[in-house]
Amino acid sequence: MTKSIVFLLFSLTFLEHGLLFPRVSSLGINYGQVGDNLPPPDKVLQLLSSLHINKTRIYDTNPQILTSFANSNIELFVTIENQMLPSLVDPQQALQWVNSRIKPYFPTTKIGGIAVGNELYTDDDSSLIRYLVPAMISIHGALVETGLDKYIQVSTPNSLSVLQESYPPSAGCFRPEVAGIMIQLLGFLHSTKSPFWINAYPYFAYKDSPTKIPIDYVLFNPNAGMVDPYTKYHYDNMLYAQVDAVIFAMARLGYKDIEVGVSETGWPSKGDGDEVGATVSNAAIYNKNLLRRQLQGEGTPLRPNMRLDVYLFALFNEDLKPGPTSERNYGLYQPDETMAYNVGLLSTSSSTSTSSTSIISLTSSASTVCINI
């Protein structure tokens, strides 16, 4: 992937207004496969192409997908499964992985990035995170050895649970227990000019505190928003505030110029009784408003001139995902390729700098329980 990572094209039509919008250049979509009724990869390719999508993320290196997407205009962001990381710390194992999982398909199949694991640190399990950076170094070394490092970036998507504080954004900092690993990770990303990816779901924050968090603030609807008391930046949506909290957290560890991208965000269209806000209406509003923001090429208040790259979660509802009902209902599409709800995507038959504000100076002014390292 290149510096502004996502070159994903959407043909947008907001049907209720009859308006044709130009293509979006900073939005991708996640193509999960945890279902027993999903269309085959060649059908998925047709759907993505009809939507003018040329960027998608998958959660493995499924050879069927890599083969089916050959000679297409769609670039893949592939994933190394979490359980594989301990073995890939070994440089020879990493080289074997690259030679068997990537090299046979590239460049016929466009592979722009490798995600080394997914959400290695969560509140429930952090047993694998110690293997993260060593495995990333080995995979990058294997790409260098095979001459592919010029074309394929190496990073990892992180859960927001890596943050100790996220509100206000200027108080953003990493949990003490992962700060050491984050320093290693940020050093790697800085040296390879790769982005820090975050999976950010304002839905979760709203579900946990629906009486305290205004629904319009999390849905990108017009609202009064909030002003960070230390930076005086105004935030009219939670997603941008979450991203800026990550930027401040990185700055506290000495890294103020690493790009931040959103590797997952979305809203469920259905949930259990206690999953407040998981409705078709809210899902449609969140994703439609997000598309509109991406159309404008917006940055966050802290980095207004740096377009925020986002991967929407997800392409399909996936019926085999464990957990609450919401986990199986994030898709824009049903497995039969009908829309789960309308966000204004028009299927057609043919496809076709950081803000000058000093982040370091702002971090020192925020009152926070975080430790500056």
Q: Which residues are catalytic?
A: 119, 264
Q: Of 283, 293, 274, nearest to 339 (Cα)? A: 283
The one-letter amino acid code at 201 reads: Y
CA 168 to chain centre: 21
From CA 78, how far away is CA 28, in angstroms rounded? 13
The residues, ordered by sequence, that sit 6+ positions from 100 with a Cβ below 8 Å of its Cβ are none
> What number of H helices and E strands is found in the chain?
11, 15
For the chain, the residue count is 373
Q: Of 183, 130, 132, 177, nearest to 154 (Cα)? A: 132
The DSSP symbol for 316 reads B
Q: Could you give the 3-state DSSP secondary structure of residue 36?
A: coil
* Cα separations in angstroms, 15 against 36, 72, 126, 296: 32, 28, 45, 19
Q: Residue 199 forms beta bridges with which residues?
A: 159, 264
Q: Could you give the angle at the alpha carbon of 163 between the alpha carbons of 161 and 164, nearest 5°? A: 110
The one-letter amino acid code at 314 reads: A
From CA 84, how far away is CA 88, in angstroms rounded? 6
Q: Of 158, 268, 173, 263, nearest to 218 (Cα)? A: 268
